[in-house]
Structure 1
């Protein structure tokens, strides 16, 4: 895929109707202004009986996040819901997730033969190029998406070929930017709501260029950024060097596993680098 290429034109307002409608419909949005839908305040979920934890380190009001590699993370909720992002046939978690999200840029971001044990296989695109739309409550997890465009190998635009998937659990909102190829409009930013964690591609070539991804991340103003989709230390360090001095601390962790909670979000915005290999 050529790189870098001129940014694709911003999404039209029609693509934003799904998430914008969710924001308008959310009774808690005016108060919290976080994420399109506040699952943690759903009265139905508050009546659910406690469930066995998916992993020993994920407790109530926490979310587990493990970097598997490339663009794949395993997300685990306290209620036992597991999600694999950009699920593909090359980089997979050791467990069969209940939910798999996919994007269509190329084969390291989707699978033609997902494990039959996956209950929800969520493609970030539709074959007719209409926007994919999700608004799903799965146990103590909510999943939504914002459709975006991608470019093909010739640099032509494929409308609605990608999705930014948004996950909410334990009063935390996590966005996976997927194979993002263009900057976001103010309407996009408003539709996404106030996010807590962003999983961002930082290769600077196959996805959005470094200037573009920095523009997106600055606009989102999230407490935690976790880089993904980098091909070597040089690629990662190029992003970190460019991002240095932008009021973000940079932390490198030795483990690919991370436990997140609203109570322990960093007071200073932080880029957390997780090694692949979960």
Structure 2
């Protein structure tokens, strides 16, 4: 059962996230969207198609970062707005978008957990055709996902589009690494319940659970550290989400036509990429199909898509 985080919990998490991203403002886009080493930003193409099919004219990006996605959507001619938790990201987003003639007050500081942030456009814009949120939900405490979805539903007009990205928890069934151990022990197996009921078999059960980790590469993936003194991505809250649960949550909150679209496919478990790097990249990109059922397990991320009634 999810427990709603307290305000002190939230502030502690958000401050850690601010610190984590404080040094990324000027290089985040280059490293994660433009670099040859980075996987192509296929999610931008998915969002572009969604916006065009929806006929959107106004767009709010909640957690816009350094305008990573907004800058690549400028050519659609939309009225673009966004906010982010990290001041350094806001500074870079304003700089980048100013080149395209977008006023700096279209980008402001805010949190996806605050309804006032969604209503924070200085020009009074409070009704959007579409809202997107990428790279944010992993940093939101368990129990707060409904708050994020609900906040979108207050500012996206009836019939409008909502698209929220999350890291795919089920991908851990394919990775065969430390994430797999976490999924097995924390989500698939009732470890605490079994230990409580084990009686004189408790020691044997503990050995069995320890032995389970030997089936996985517990040293992979490497923990991502910060660039300087700030914490790295894996050193702050970075949750994964179950696509089945997220779809059910969205529907329970009143979104309609809810879909789950998968992206960033992997042709092999990630640990084998270094063995055949060119084939791995080529075959993975060729697999990209947001509606392929294999995405439940082979894609590291998904987009929860729905419409506001």
Write 1 or 2 for the structure with the bigger share of helix. Answer: 2
Which structure has the highest strand share of the two?
1
State the TM-score, normalizing by the size of structure 2: 0.33
Larger radius of gyration between Structure 1 and Structure 2: 2
